[in-house]
Amino acid sequence: MTQLHIVLVFLVGFVGIMLWIIGVIALDIYHDVHRTHENQQKDTAPEPHGGYEPYDAHHVSQRL
């Protein structure tokens, strides 16, 4: 294999890894947007809970 082939294989692998990383980030962002949209729909129609409020662990972690 010549040096040109080695460089081309390296570049193709590098571009492939970068596209994979961008895809993972895009899916994560899409998942967060989808989750936010679901939460907004739940907030508009709250379900009755009989007066019981669950413990909010996220609230505690924000104070740390």
Block mean pLDDT (10 aa), the chain, length 64: 93 97 91 67 58 60 54
Domain count, the chain: 1
Range of the domain at 2: 1-33
How many Cα atoms are found within 13 Å in the side-chain-facing hemisphere of 57? 0
Predicted TM-score (pTM) of this structure: 0.47
Residue 64 lies in a domain: no
Question: What is the model's pLDDT at position 23?
Answer: 94
Residue 10 lies in a domain: yes
Question: What is the model's pLDDT at position 58?
Answer: 61
Residue 19 lies in a domain: yes
Identify which of 39, 37, 34 has the alpha carbon closest to the alpha carbon of residue 58: 39
Residue 43 lies in a domain: no
Residue 1 lies in a domain: yes
